[in-house]
């Protein structure tokens, strides 16, 4: 028999913004062809179940008047992590608020109906307008009606195609609500204490270098990322990987989905220009790929983990991500600003640049002939994308394996193993 809480929560869920948008947009979503009708049904079922669970939390908070996490765990048959996830979304929607109780314990209270609420999942145009967009490409892949495209390194919404579902905000964007404590908890499997783990959870750290000569010839530092992906392809553990490829001699870049080692070698090396890598999720789906590795910057990996924590069914529809490799990142640049750094600050013609790197506080350009030219990072940090200045993550703490050059000698990579899966593969 269905209890009253279950029934009331289900009725509340069916009136929720996300359920109404997905249900009402059935025709536009299916006709778009991005997902099948069966996949639409799967997403709708997930959203209804997810919203029902969230409404159980909300109704319980309303019943109690104020509630701590231990109280909610006692009242509901849900884990601490799941309850926290729902409370954060309810807080974002303006339905509950947090405060500190008399015993210094965090308590949650329902928001009075008379209190004006913000639009819960407005379109991500406001992120672009506030210059917070990181150009990760997640919104493009997860938009169910193909209403979003990347133009001049930022998403643009086609209002004729948009159904106002808010998925670009609630599911995809790493710059709307992003609760890093929950994402760290998800990666580690338990709460992460940053006062004890300043680079977040990790199992081991190494300096590593590839043993494959073909990779050494093209790699950035130790060739670790390319070597790991080559291993995964060799052992049929993945059928595709999302990467960035340099396009021509002018250092423009494009997101690609590679499906074999030959294509993989063409992507080796770091490109210091923003690239919407996660649009590759949609490309991988079109290719029918089921086992995917993702290589990305911290903001891109934040988007991937956000989907896994808050809307896992969306990832299942787009393809199973087997491994996440995160690249260390201090900041990233638009193409025009990267060109300015190379040609105006380092005095190297961009088409003559062989390699770029950041090490010991210097941005360096290695020309095809002649000595490298460098500029202090502090002199060019103002040219980075504005969103980079509010990023809390240098070492890509949400990845399975994090890789960078900081802390290792030239020709080697620093490798941080963060998850059991990452350790097994490394």
3-state secondary structure of 392: coil
What's the rounded Cα separation, in Å, for the pair 165 and 149? 16
What's the rounded Cα separation, in Å, for the pair 274 and 309? 25
Listed residue (83, 88, 158) closest to 120, CA to CA: 88
What's the pLDDT score for residue 2?
61
CB 394 within 8 A of CB 298: yes
First to last CA, the chain: 49
What's the pLDDT score for residue 103?
61
What's the rounded Cα separation, in Å, for the pair 53 and 55? 5
What's the pLDDT score for residue 226?
93
Give the pLDDT of the chain (426 residues) as one tens digit per residue.
568 999 999 999 999 888 999 999 999 999 999 999 999 999 999 999 999 999 999 999 999 999 999 999 999 989 999 999 999 999 988 899 988 866 667 889 998 765 545 566 788 889 999 999 999 999 999 999 999 999 999 999 999 999 988 899 888 899 988 888 999 999 988 888 777 777 788 999 999 998 888 888 887 888 999 999 999 999 999 999 999 998 877 888 999 999 998 899 888 888 889 999 999 999 999 999 989 999 999 999 999 999 999 988 887 777 789 999 999 998 999 999 999 999 999 999 999 998 888 888 889 999 988 889 999 999 999 999 999 999 989 999 999 999 998 888 888 999 999 999 999 999
- Total Cβ atoms within 10 A of residue 419: 20
Instruction: Kindly give, in sequence order, each residue whose CB lies less than 8 Å from that of residue 265, ignoring residues fewer than 6 positions away.
Output: 214, 215, 218, 226
3-state secondary structure of 416: strand
What's the pLDDT score for residue 119?
60
Q: What is the DSSP string of 101-120?
A: -TTS-EEEEEPPTTS----T
Q: Give start and end residues of each alpha helix (H) in 65-111.
A: 69-75, 80-92
What's the rounded Cα separation, in Å, for the pair 30 and 53? 26
3-state secondary structure of 345: helix
In the chain, residues under CATH classification 3.30.70.20 are 125-172
Sign of CA dihedral 225, 260, 313, 421: negative
Length of the chain: 426
In the chain, residues under CATH classification 1.10.10.10 are 4-110
DSSP structure class, residue 80: H
CATH code of the domain occupying 4-110? 1.10.10.10
CATH code of the domain occupying 125-172? 3.30.70.20
What's the pLDDT score for residue 124?
87
- Total Cβ atoms within 10 A of residue 173: 25
Environment class of 62 (CB within 10 Å of its CB; exposed 0-12, middle 13-18, buried 19+): middle
What's the pLDDT score for residue 294?
97
What's the pLDDT score for residue 113?
66
């Amino acid at each position: 028999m269905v209890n009253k809480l279950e029934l009331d929560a289900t009725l509340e869920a069916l009136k929720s913004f996300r359920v109404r948008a997905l249900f009402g947009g059935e025709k536009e979503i299916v006709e778009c062809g991005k997902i099948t009708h069966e996949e639409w049904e799967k997403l709708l079922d997930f959203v209804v179940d997810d919203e029902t669970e969230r409404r159980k939390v909300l109704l319980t908070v309303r019943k109690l008047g104020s509630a701590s996490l231990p109280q909610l765990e006692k009242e509901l048959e849900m884990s601490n992590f799941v309850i926290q996830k729902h409370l954060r979304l309810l807080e974002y929607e303006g339905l509950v608020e947090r405060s500190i109780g008399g015993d210094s314990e965090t308590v949650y209270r329902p928001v009075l109906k008379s209190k004006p609420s913000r639009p819960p999942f407005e379109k991500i145009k406001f992120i672009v307008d506030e210059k917070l967009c990181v150009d990760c490409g997640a919104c493009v892949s997860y938009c169910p009606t193909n209403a979003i495209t990347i133009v001049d390194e930022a998403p643009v919404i086609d209002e004729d195609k948009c159904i106002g579902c808010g998925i670009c905000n609630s599911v995809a964007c790493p710059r709307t609500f992003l609760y890093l404590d929950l994402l760290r908890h998800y990666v580690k499997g338990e709460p992460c204490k940053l006062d004890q783990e300043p680079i977040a959870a990790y199992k081991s750290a190494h300096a590593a270098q590839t043993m494959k000569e073909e990779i050494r010839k093209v790699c950035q530092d130790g060739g670790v990322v390319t070597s790991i992906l080559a291993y995964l392809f060799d052992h049929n553990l993945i059928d595709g990987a999302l990467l960035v490829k340099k396009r021509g001699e002018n250092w423009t870049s494009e997101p690609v989905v590679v499906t074999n080692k030959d294509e993989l070698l063409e992507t080796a090396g770091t490109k210091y220009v923003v690239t919407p890598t996660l649009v590759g999720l949609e490309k991988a789906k079109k290719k029918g790929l089921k086992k995917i590795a993702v290589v990305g910057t911290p903001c891109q990996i934040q988007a991937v983990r956000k989907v896994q924590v808050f809307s896992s069914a969306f990832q299942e529809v787009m393809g199973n991500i087997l491994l996440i490799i995160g690249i260390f990142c201090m900041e990233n640049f638009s193409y025009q600003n990267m060109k300015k750094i190379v040609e105006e600050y380092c005095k190297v013609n961009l088409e003559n640049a062989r390699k770029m790197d950041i090490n010991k506080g210097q941005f360096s350009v290695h020309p095809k002939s002649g000595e490298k030219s460098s500029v202090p990072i502090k002199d060019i940090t103002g040219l980075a994308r504005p969103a980079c200045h509010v990023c809390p993550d240098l070492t890509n703490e949400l990845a399975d394996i994090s890789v960078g050059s900081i802390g290792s000698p030239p020709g080697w990579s620093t490798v941080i193993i963060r998850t059991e899966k990452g350790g097994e593969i490394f």
